[in-house]
Amino acid sequence: MKNKRKVLKNKNILLGVTGGAAAYKAVDLVRRMKDEGASVVVIMTAASKNFITPLSLEIASGNRVYSGVFDDPMSHINLPRNADLMAIAPATANIIGKFANGIADDLLSTCLLSFKGKVVIAPSMNWRMYDNPIFQENLRRLTAHGVMQTGPDRGTLACGEEGIGRMADVSEIIETIKSAFSKKDFFKKRIILTAGPTREYLDPVRFLSNRSSGKMGYAIARACIRRGAEVILVSGPSCLKQPQGLKSFFRVETAQEMRDAMFKRLAETDIVIMAAAPADFSPEKKEKAKIEKSGKLSVNFKNTPDILSEIGQLKNKPILVGFAAETGRRLDRAKKKLIQKNADMIVFNNVTAVGSGFDVDTNEITIIRKNKELSLPLMTKDNAAEAILDAVSDTMKKQAKSGPIQRLRANHRRRR
């Protein structure tokens, strides 16, 4: 499978591992960063070695692990100078306090002071430490200076207590690091994005749905956030984790609910991307009680709202992206949809192709615009999401040049 777009390809990341209970997760983090194409050098604090051995991180990173400020006299200058980004995971209350106050008493804290690029921290500690107002002041000070924070999450802590303080999931830390390197061509753009299936109920326990998992839509949400957009995600039932950094999130069940949630926010929206698979039909009648099992059952269906078409007909419509999931290479149907629905773009995918479509992490898509067609090879949904946004960005630029309506909409929003 071609996987050309590794956001972290050729990036040098200097990872600080400190003495928190989550230190063992650093091994996974290093591996995942390397999978994304990065080269990783690790600095361990003395306390972190009580939780994890340098050897584990040396094996994971494939590089020497640094620790003492006097082991290699120029490492506190050279390591940061060669890094594109510094990350600290887990970040103890201690390193956050030291960094916020300019203390440089070991290799990691000294490197943080001499580093000129972006820093990502993943705080991790007991909730009592996290709640401490002095710690919170230190954290605010760092974020005010542009340090990017990811997590912590709520949940069961290493000590067995429940509360806030769990280090963010490794995938979320990776997401934040990727976002530090992403272009911000959607900065402040408002995007309504739909994802997942809908459920159309027959009775209180039975419904008609489809195989959509929401993976493509959630991947687009993450890419939009990385590229600076304000994202409103309207999601049908999905077991995926809500992406961090959303402006708002609406959980809906039926196609009608999806439509209503979208129309509430449509007036202030620049772009609508409909990656969801809302049902096309819904039972005419929803029974109040569970239908009894007796003989044959026939059900009459009605059409659900055609959201794409409805938005396409709006006078000042936002940039509109629809999806066409087809069984077979029916590009003709996708092209017809582009015209019929008055969309700016249709993303076609053949859900019966191997590795493509529902519930997998890869997709093979064709991006169809009025005078352009781009067929892409099988790739991860994250990469497909980036490709879709590249095409949207291109459409956005063209409309800004030629479309007075878009300019008016943009000016109107700016004035408010």
- The strand pairing partners of 352, in sequence order, are none
| Only segment of 7-15, 92-100, 136-144, 199-207 that touches ligand FMN (CB under 6 A) | 92-100
| Only segment of 18-26, 73-81, 168-176, 197-205 that touches ligand FMN (CB under 6 A) | 18-26
Question: Given the complex with ligand FMN, which of 101 and 303 has the nearer CB atom?
Answer: 101
67 binds ligand FMN (CB under 6 A): no
Q: How many residues bind ligand FMN (CB under 6 A)?
A: 14
92 binds ligand FMN (CB under 6 A): yes
19 binds ligand FMN (CB under 6 A): yes
Determine whether 159 is an active site residue: yes
Among 52, 93, 225, 252, binds ligand FMN (CB under 6 A): 93
The answer to whether residues 270 and 189 touch, using CB atoms and an 8 Å cutoff, is: yes
3-class SS of residue 217:
helix
d(CA 213, CA 225): 20
* Window 32-51: residues binding ligand FMN (CB under 6 A): 45, 47-48
Question: Given the complex with ligand FMN, which of 128 and 336 has the nearer CB atom?
Answer: 128
- Tell me phi and psi for residue 335, to 5 degrees: -65, -40
The answer to whether residues 108 and 95 touch, using CB atoms and an 8 Å cutoff, is: yes
Element holding 387 (H helix, E strand): helix 381-402
CB of residue 132 vs ligand FMN: minimum separation in angstroms?
10
The answer to whether residues 69 and 44 touch, using CB atoms and an 8 Å cutoff, is: no
Enumerate the H helices of 46-159 as residue ranges.
Answer: 54-61, 75-81, 93-100, 107-114, 127-131, 133-144
Among 75, 94, 350, 380, binds ligand FMN (CB under 6 A): 94
| Only segment of 12-20, 188-196, 240-248, 336-344 that touches ligand FMN (CB under 6 A) | 12-20
CB of residue 18 vs ligand FMN: minimum separation in angstroms?
3
Among 38, 95, 122, 351, binds ligand FMN (CB under 6 A): 95
Burial label for 112, CB within 10 Å (0-12, 13-18, 19+), is buried
- The strand pairing partners of 166, in sequence order, are 153
CA distances from 91 to 38, 96, 143 (A): 20, 7, 14
d(CA 395, CA 90): 41
Question: Given the complex with ligand FMN, which of 136 and 327 has the nearer CB atom?
Answer: 136
125 binds ligand FMN (CB under 6 A): yes
Question: Given the complex with ligand FMN, which of 65 and 223 has the nearer CB atom?
Answer: 65
Question: Given the complex with ligand FMN, which of 47 and 314 has the nearer CB atom?
Answer: 47
CB of residue 257 vs ligand FMN: minimum separation in angstroms?
41
d(CA 26, CA 17): 7
The count of other CB atoms within 10 Å of the CB of residue 29 is: 27
CB of residue 245 vs ligand FMN: minimum separation in angstroms?
24
d(CA 268, CA 232): 11
* Window 211-270: residues binding ligand FMN (CB under 6 A): none
DSSP code of 197?
B
Distance linking the first and last C-alpha atoms of the chain: 47
Footprint on this chain of ligand FMN (rule: CB under 6 A): 18-21, 45, 47-48, 92-95, 124-125, 129
Looking at the annotation, which residues are catalytic?
159
